[in-house]
Amino acid sequence: MTDFAQSVKQQADIVKIVEGYIRLRKAGATNYSGLCPFHKEKSPSFSVHAVRQFFHCFGCGVSGDVFTFVGKIENVTFPEAVRIVAQKCGIPLPKQEFSSPEHAAEARLRGQLLDLHETAAAWFEEQLRGPEGATAREYLAGRGLTPEGIKRFRIGYSPDSFNALRDRLSGMADPETLRASGLFSQKEQGDGTQGHIYDRFRKRVMFPIANEGGRVIAFTARALETGEKAGAKYINSPETPLYTKGQVLFNLDKAKSVIRQAGFALLVEGQMDCISVFLRGIQNVIATSGTAFTEQQVAILRRHTSNLVVNFDPDAAGANAAEKSIALLTEEGFSIRLVTLDGGLDPDRFIRERGVEAYTAAIRNARPQADYLIERARQQFPGAGAEQKVKAMNFLLPHIRRMPEKLAREQFAADAAQKLGIDSAVLREELRQAALKRRDHVETRAAALTEVERVLLRALAVIDPNDERARRLAADAITKQTAWFEHLAAFQALQALAGRQSRDPMEAVEDDAQRALLAEALLGETRPPSEAEVHGAVQEAEERWIGSQLRQLRADIAEAERRGDFAELAVLTQKKLELDRELRRLHNRRPPEKD
């Protein structure tokens, strides 16, 4: 680790950094816990140690320091993780911090692209305020947007020009970087080489898309005119090094803290719906931008909540998107309720026509997904005929099977049978089977550590010089009587810690699996072990070692007897006597058991 990384690590608080991504609850004097962002789970097995500044998941076994966490969750390299943490803590970056030229180039490109997007967003805003933006301003006013709302979402306008934005940005970056930004299009030449670039967005209302940190990384552009000449109603930035479509939830940057407070997120289809709802005070709202949910989006959202109220458009496309999203989210253990608005209105129009109170009431009355799906089944396959009932059931069965909890599945199946009027024993049995099918997965691994290992690991990891004697006792035993400890699962970690130079024990253990064992031991700690406890643990390790030697000897003795090798037998028997005596000695020395 570089000096800079070391100093960032000392200044950063892992609890604060992790809380920027997932919800944490205080779980002990020094621990916080939450749902692991790296595997699916419903009860928290992810812990953060506030004093020792590391995280560990008892479910999937990942562990590490603040950089490991950021690296994993942002999917970036170590230098990039250091940079992100430094930025979050407001620590200025040194000029030379990137280890490899590729990292440096990658980070430089991302930095430049962010700058270009920032400048473009500001420039679009300026254009909207200017004379050319009159029609766009009218359109936005017509949709009920105030100047404050426009400013809040940084809505802008791209003028009817092929080179206005290009001229604005061309001084900021080379042509390659401008191409990579996604803000421009280009014509391919007759000879296959790339032609000049020109403005991608023209005569459109510009909605910036921000990352979770609130920085603009892409745009959605809505045409002001209709007809062939105007092109598609909406166009989006293409994928770029900054922007991957399925990995962004629109408005999450503004909504995330409110989502955590409210305990749920409101999911709408379009950006306009999202903006409209947000500006009227319902701020825990996010949008998927017209697509069904992706797994990455689920993973992002899970960090903030697992309760979702879905309000998609009531048209067929909206219902389909809702069903697809429900399917994925259900599988991922989300609890989902659905809003259906009166009069077939979308959220934007509903809230403008009926007011925010009516909308809030609609959210409060959102139906559980089972009710919603049963209703959908009845709408799609109306009538009391047997054939219709079978079709309705076939629509519902996959949804039932996806639910992770057995009780919920049984309830769903029972409701479906009742509401669809299914009286056939065969169909009822089918429903019952669907409810039985999915097995709830076990989420927490059994602890891999014995008490001996726990005590020794904790003794070796002490930071306080007052506990130095206990530490030295453990370290000496492990260094001098290595054989006693070799069979322990955490042997490598024990050995690394016994000889550790660095102050942070988590850094002394390099192997991931071994570090996970150490994390497991340290997370459960309340106080450092006493000398007597360490002594007891060492003794127990010795006893176990003797026990395993004795088992081996007995097998060897039996083998020597079988062969009739009496010389060998005499040697082995003598050894066994010595070990028996040693074991008795250990037992006698031991203080009487307390319970």
Q: Interacting stretch for Zn ion, rule CB under 5 A, among 55-63, 219-227, 461-469, 544-552?
A: 55-63
Q: Is the dihedral of CA 487, 490, 494, 496 positive or negative?
A: positive
Output the smallest distance, CB 438 to Zn ion, in A.
21
Q: Is 18 in the site for Zn ion (CB under 5 A)?
A: no
Burial of residue 13 (number of CB atoms within 10 Å: 0-12, 13-18, 19+): middle
**Looking at beta carbons only, is 166 or 515 nearer to Zn ion?**
515
Q: Which of 22, 36, 136, 396 binds Zn ion (CB under 5 A)?
A: 36
Please pick, from the candidates 16, 39, 432, 544, the single residue that binds Zn ion as defined by CB under 5 A: 39
Task: Provide the minimum distance between the beta carbon of 252 and Zn ion in the complex, in angstroms, as a whole number.
Answer: 22
Sheet holding 156-158, edge to edge: 156-158, 204-210, 216-223, 234-236
Question: Binding residues for Zn ion, how many (CB under 5 A)?
Answer: 6
CB of 356 to Zn ion, least distance (A): 39
Q: How far is CA 507 from CA 32, 510, 516, 565, in A?
A: 21, 7, 12, 52
Nearer to Zn ion, 106 or 443 (CB): 443
Site for Zn ion in 481-510 (CB under 5 A): none
- Give the range of 4-12, 57-65, 208-216, 433-441 binding Zn ion by CB under 5 A: 57-65
- Quote the least distance from Cβ 25 to Zn ion, whole Å: 16
Q: How far apart are CB 517 and Zn ion at their closest, in Å?
A: 15
Closer to Zn ion by Cβ: residue 299 or 356: 299
60 is an interface residue for Zn ion by CB under 5 A: yes
- What does the alpha-carbon distance between residue 328 and residue 7 come to, in Å, rounded to a whole number? 42
Instruction: Say how many residues make up the chain.
Output: 595
Residue from 34, 44, 59, 133 in contact with Zn ion (CB under 5 A): 59
What DSSP string runs through 147-186? HHHHHHTT-EEE-S-SSHHHHHHTTTS-HHHHHHTTSEEE
Q: Does 34 bind Zn ion (CB under 5 A)?
A: no
| Closer residue to Zn ion in complex, CB, 445/480 | 445
Q: With H, G, I as helix, E, B as strand and everything else as coil, classify residue 491.
A: helix
Q: Is 72 in the site for Zn ion (CB under 5 A)?
A: no
Strands (E) across 136-279 are located at 156-158, 184-188, 194-199, 204-210, 216-223, 234-236, 265-268
Closest to Zn ion by CB, 181 or 306: 306
Distance in angstroms (rounded) separating the CA atoms of residues 476 and 474: 6
Instruction: Identify the residue whose tokens are 């992002």.
Output: 300
CB of 56 to Zn ion, least distance (A): 9
For position 553 contacting Zn ion by CB under 5 A, the verdict is no
CB of 298 to Zn ion, least distance (A): 15
Least distance in Å: CB of 134 to Zn ion? 54
Q: How far is the CB of 513 from Zn ion (least distance, A)?
A: 14
Residue 266: phi and psi, rounded to 5, are -100, 120
Contact between 519 and Zn ion (CB under 5 A)? no
Query: Among residues 71 and 159, whose Cβ is nearest to Zn ion?
Result: 71
By CB atoms closer than 10 A (0-12, 13-18, 19+), residue 232 is exposed
Q: Which helix (H) or strand (E) covers residue 87, if one does?
A: helix 78-88
Selected binder of Zn ion within 19, 30, 38, 586 (CB under 5 A): 38
CA distances from 407 to 74, 370, 404, 413, 414 (A): 35, 13, 9, 10, 11
Written in H, E and C, the secondary structure of 51-82 is CCCEEEECCCCCEECHHHHHHHHHCCCHHHHH
The smaller minimum CB distance to Zn ion, of residues 63 and 369, is found at 63
Tokens for 59, please give them: 């479910």
Part of the chain binding Zn ion (CB under 5 A), chosen from 29-37, 346-354, 522-530, 553-561: 29-37
Q: Can residue 57 be called a binding residue for Zn ion (CB under 5 A)?
A: yes
Determine if 258 is a binding residue for Zn ion (CB under 5 A). no
Task: Decide if residue 110 touches Zn ion (CB under 5 A).
Answer: no
- Single-letter amino acid, residue 364: R
Closest CA to 391 of 380, 402, 403, 375: 380
Query: In the complex, which residues of this chain contact Zn ion (CB under 5 A)?
Result: 36, 38-39, 57, 59-60
